[in-house]
Structure 1
């Protein structure tokens, strides 16, 4: 796999007073006769313990699912639910707050399985064109679901829609105080890797608040080294005054 795929990542702490809450995972693994590339961004809010826990456990939970190879979408949904339940049960140790997640599993360099909760995002570039593979879970888009669970969406305080006036994403891991009104159910999608596939970007919202999908792709499409590309994309977000924690992984094909 290493002959066909390279990857690199870069992280920058934002301007807030709290500790860095973004975590990345990037690894290659042999599973039976299959080669897997495992990539993820975990963006914590009011927590660095929960995204760190996800980095250590989420992929293990996914790959433990007996039907991962036959029904990967169902396996990932179940693993996300199990992981979230464990996080809520460990709230005394892991503390309050929560985390978004975007996970990408590359199977035999042929297929991507992408899942996410929250607003960390995965974008693929094919023939120079950006395509978003994940779904931004915004409270304004999921107001009806949140209200049906007994919660509400409010722009007060501030001007950003928030679940119960607190959380600016509609889905996340953790957040025990909001668990009745919040879900960790991921959106899951499949994407085939073909000859047109150039690279995939995974990044926290510190990138996407200031760059569109196509702008991000255009920013790095001529940079062949994946690590340099990730660093350059991060620097571009900073130049555009992103003040949030920023984490970025670039996975390059060919």
Structure 2
């Protein structure tokens, strides 16, 4: 039955500000099996490339690029916003972030007449509070929503600065030209929050000194309370509000002992980087990519090939590595359907943002540039059919 439904699978794009963009057209992206990609596009600071490959039955990665005005004021800030949201436990949180984080950022940028670390932090907080209200309303009907969460990686380019804000273990990596040698070196810009890192475990232990089991080594993997690898996220309300860590939530999510302070945090790590002419591009990607490629390998792939199709090339390189690890051919991996595919690799989202120093300086001087809004996509079924369990 599923093979019959496959004929109906199509690319999905949700344009926000440009009604002329239609799903399936070259301007919005193309579909190749479980791979959605947009080889090239333009933002106010240069070019960009996007790609998403789906592994889960329902795509848990969500992503977007918004470029042009970053507030509702004619004289307000302009630039480029990039978001990669890697969901877990379901797609609901990442979808919520995709719909609400950028509007919150525009609202606070309008109120403050600028983009700043404080504006970004407020947008994250408002998104977290909004999703918490959804969980509260849905608790009687959908209590398992309390166990759904998402990593959240954001980049904002505005007035010559690059802001990187992160929750979880998605990653932003800069390609920086070394003029003396002509090499392009990888520079990781994001701070990750994964219990596999010693610094994260120490942070958790210092903020929860009375809990000797705040991090647990389970099946050779460090997990917060033995349940989850990341220490910061949007959602995951069951580890932030004790009133949601009880029946009728599934027993596997319920802690034996009550907790008085939130176990996970929604406070992002934020870096502000002043852009320089030797900054070539930034790769934003969910951890599905970094599981198979190092920072420098990813930067080399982008640097040593044409700009067009950069994101798709990175995704395919990661899939080839995933196939090699399982001692199978890439061509055979591509034949595996979503859901089953998750046993071989995760959902992978990649956005490569190229930085044109002339356009960056022009945007600093107040030029708005084109208004662009693109969302990454996975396969979709007709609304009257059920997704496979």
TM-score computed with the length of structure 1 as normaliser = 0.90
1:175 pairs with 2:256 = no
Contact 2:92 2:148 survives alignment (8 Å): no
Question: What is the rounded CA distance, in whole Å, between the counterparts of 1:68 and 1:143 in structure 2?
Answer: 38
3-state DSSP of counterpart to 1:230: helix
Alignment of 1:17-36 (within 5 A): 18-30=57-69, 31=71, 32-33=74-75, 34-36=77-79
Q: Work out which of the residue numbers 64, 78, 96 in structure 2 matches 1:53.
A: 96
- Offset at residue 4 of structure 1 (A): 4.7
Question: What is the rounded CA distance, in whole Å, between the counterparts of 1:68 and 1:81 in structure 2?
Answer: 19
1:76 pairs with 2:178 = no
- Give the structure with higher Rg (CA): 2
- Offset at residue 164 of structure 1 (A): 1.0
TM-score computed with the length of structure 2 as normaliser = 0.60
Q: Deviation digits for residues 18-46 of structure 1, max 9, x if unmatched?
A: 41100111121224343221111000001
Corresponding residue for residue 52 of structure 2: 11
Alignment of 1:1-254 (within 5 A): 2=43, 4-14=45-55, 16=56, 18-30=57-69, 31=71, 32-33=74-75, 34-65=77-108, 66-67=111-112, 69=114, 72-91=116-135, 92=138, 95=145, 96-108=147-159, 110-127=160-177, 128-139=184-195, 140-147=198-205, 148-149=207-208, 150=211, 152-156=214-218, 158-179=219-240, 180-226=262-308, 228-241=309-322, 243-254=345-356
3-state DSSP of counterpart to 1:240: helix
3-state DSSP of counterpart to 1:247: strand
Q: Deviation digits for residues 200-249 of structure 1, max 9, x if unmatched?
A: 100000011111111110111123324x0000000011111061110000
Contact 2:44 2:80 survives alignment (8 Å): no
Contact 1:126 1:197 survives alignment (8 Å): yes
For the aligned residues, what is the CA RMSD? 2.0
Question: What is the rounded CA distance, in whole Å, between the counterparts of 1:177 and 1:49 in structure 2?
Answer: 15
Closer/same/farther in 2, CA of residues 4 and 43 from structure 1, 3 Å limit: closer
Question: What is the rounded CA distance, in whole Å, between the counterparts of 2:217 and 2:281 in structure 1?
Answer: 36
Question: What is the rounded CA distance, in whole Å, between the counterparts of 1:195 and 1:21 in structure 2?
Answer: 36
3-state DSSP of counterpart to 1:251: strand
Closer/same/farther in 2, CA of residues 120 and 78 from structure 1, 3 Å limit: same
The structure with the greater share of residues assigned to strand is: 1
Equivalences, count: 248
Question: Any stretches of 5+ residues in structure 2 without a counterpart?
Answer: 1-41, 178-183, 241-261, 323-343, 357-389
3-state DSSP of counterpart to 2:199: coil
